[in-house]
Structure 1
Amino acid sequence: MKKVLFAVLAASVFTFAVSAQNSLVDEPNPETIGNESAMQALHEISLDKFEREGSWNVHISPDYGVITSRLFEGSPAMKDPLKEDEGKENEDTQVLGVKVEFFKRGINSFYITSQRPIPIEGVTKTVSVWVCGRNMGHELYLLVEDYFGRNYELYMGSLGFSGWKKLTAVVPPSPDGEHGIVQHSAYYGDKPGLRIIGFRVDCDPMLSRGAYYMYLDDLRCVTDLYDMQNHDEDDMADNW
């Protein structure tokens, strides 16, 4: 009897471990992020497709290397187009390439920032981007600005993979509307709550040598537009 109970217990623990591991592999579910009620209107929105030359800047400390960027023809084959983009594949044909030539090994970072902060309406749940990381163990962070203009960084993942991969950052909800990343406030009018500043790549000191190449495409977000969609047409906007 004891052997049977032990076998059942071991099987239960194994099942729980496998399910937990699978949950870590799966993409975050925007429907469960900061959801306090069933009243949500989630939409996946394209923020930038990296099609315009000069719309993104790159920077690295001149003590550690030289950085350049340019657009290239290409696109991730596994990328699913948004419904509104179906039939417009000829308008999404380029990706942003970034090249870093390191002077020496060391603890350093480089930045990829938008020419202008990209505002997101509604309450943002997740932000994703397709990245070609060249199988280097550098770390990618998303740089954002909240409703009050405070800057935050959100971890997106390691670049230690080959080919294209979709990396996603979860935007944690504010616990009280004052602390953390605040995206809306009834006390300060109506305006987009989150702005995308860009990305930071923290380099692995042992791999920061020679030339490093990476590519970006299709910056998207999942945002909750419930309040905006249910705003009465005859109601004034608090943005003056």
Structure 2
Amino acid sequence: MKRTFIVFAIIFLLLGTFAICEESVLIDFTFLEQDMISLADESGDSGNLNKEQNRRTVMDYGAAAGATFTDSQKTLMRTSLALSNWEVVLNSSARNSTSLSLSKVVPAQVRDTKPMKNAYGEMEDVDVKVPFHGEKVLGVRIVFPTSSVNANAMIAPPFEIPAYERMAYIDDEGNVAMNDEGQRVDENGEVITTSTTRFEEGYGIVKNVGTLKSISVTTMGMNYPYALYVWLKDTDNVERRYYMGTLGFDGWKELQWDNPTYITDVRAREIRIYPIYPRGLPFVKFMGFQVVRDAAQAGGDFIGYFKDVKIIYDKAVLTTERDIADEDLWNIVSEREAQKQNYEMTRFGEKQVDRFLEYSKYAQESTFKSSLAEEANEQ
């Protein structure tokens, strides 16, 4: 009996001495597959760009377009976090006509088979067990200048990931599914009641984050000497970059950043007490990767592949059931988050409409119409 008491005393002492951390996937690029099904119009051709989108993350910016656009144009004003929509943003030293046109992000298929000779000497595909076989990860090509200049490139989502977008199911037309009462419903027509927002669970947002302890990036190196950083933004709109290491290795590897100021012993921490309500849940948001090339390093093409970003962190608030449903009574947090969501959507919509107008100006012709052929037809 005495030994049992001592064991329990030691366990409780350890629990009080060391902080208990949480691990979450901040973003998993295998979730961002182009899975939106586009319905064909009466002519049999696809009438919108939904087929190129990721259903979970589709955002409609047609509401910010104004009254000068037709309904058919507004149906095209949708985008998502599908891998083909991600961008490479070069700094001023890295920008030239070649790098701007060739630097891009594409979905990269990880092979699950390879050709081998069978017993009869014939080639056939056999299954291979490689990491993430059969999945699509983020693949990027960056063309750095060959001159001796410091250059860097951001691998960024097509829009800043919203932190307060409510959960929704997107139908095949790219619209948020609603019932007759104007409530958001899932694919089965059931009203969505979850408090989880649309971009949590591996789509770029993690909430209830206190102190960051570690960050991990799963990437495939190809012996490039360039440095890799992860950019995150917090609730206070403060952006920080975290040095993950260099990409000078071959094959899949998990690069890790550890917080040098993280204090494991709770007794040595500065304890801060905040009001429980109506303090909203603090979050971290994925803003992108940054690849940095030093002036002393060789320039040219860079090829990289990324699978996911994970974080280990202390919880900011203990998620326990309370005797009184504060939010149902006062509705303070919901009102604040609705205001922030409207602000995010306004910024998002204006930027995307400007891009839509620029895309509309693109020349569609790739060759000239032959004047000689026209003359021959007239004769």
TM-score, normalised relative to structure 2: 0.42
Q: In terms of mean alpha carbon deviation, does 222-231 or 198-207 score higher?
A: 222-231
Measure how far apart 1:134 and its partner are.
1.2
Q: Secondary structure at the match of 1:227?
A: coil
1:224 is matched with which residue?
314
**Alpha-carbon distance in 2 for matches of 1:208, 1:233:** 63
How high is the sequence identity, in percent, across the aligned residues? 21
Work out whether 1:111 is the aligned partner of 2:154: yes
Structure with greater strand percent:
1
Structure 2: gaps of 5 or more residues: 1-14, 33-81, 112-128, 162-203, 264-271, 335-379
| Corresponding residue to 2:105 among 51, 60, 69 | 69
**In 2, Cα distance between equivalents of 1:56 and 1:236:** 40
1:23-78, Cα deviation, whole Å (9 max, x unpaired): xxxxxxxxxxxx995452x3322222213224632211365223111011128945
Question: Which residues in structure 2 correspond to 1:195-214 (within 5 Å)?
Answer: 195-214=285-304
RMSD after superposition: 3.3
d(CA) in 1 for partners of 2:280 and 2:108?
38
In structure 2, relative to structure 1, the CA distance for the partners of 1:208 and 1:233 (3 Å cut) is: farther
* Equivalent position SS for 1:239: helix
Q: CA distance change for structure 1 residues 213 and 39 in 2, over 3 Å: closer, same or farther? A: closer
CA–CA distance in 2 between the matches of 1:72 and 1:38?
A: 41
* 1:98 counterpart (98, 121, 140): 140
1:108-132 C-alpha deviation (Å, 9 max, x unpaired): 1000123333332232422211112
2:333 is aligned with 1:239: yes
Does structure 2 conserve the Cα–Cα contact (< 8 Å) formed by 1:145 and 1:195?
A: yes
Read off the aligned partner of 2:301 and give its amino acid letter. A
Counterpart for residue 362 of structure 2: none
Say yes or no: does 1:47 pair with 2:26: yes
Does structure 1 conserve the Cα–Cα contact (< 8 Å) formed by 2:19 and 2:314? no
- CA drift of 1:170 comes to 3.0
Could you tell me which runs of 5 or more consecutive residues in structure 1 were left unpaired when the two chains were aligned.
1-34, 80-88, 176-183
Separation in 2, partners of 1:186, 1:164: 42
The structure that is helix-richer by fraction is 2
The Cα shift of 1:222 comes to: 1.9
User: Measured at CA, do residues 44 and 233 of structure 1 come closer, stay the same or move farther in structure 2, by a change above 3 Å?
Assistant: farther
User: CA distance change for structure 1 residues 95 and 185 in 2, over 3 Å: closer, same or farther?
Assistant: farther
- Residues 151 and 205 of structure 1, relative CA distance in 2, 3 Å threshold: same
TM-score, normalization by structure 1 = 0.64
* Counterpart Cα distance in 2 of 1:99 and 1:161: 17
Q: CA deviation at 1:224?
A: 3.1
Does structure 1 residue 140 correspond to structure 2 residue 247?
no
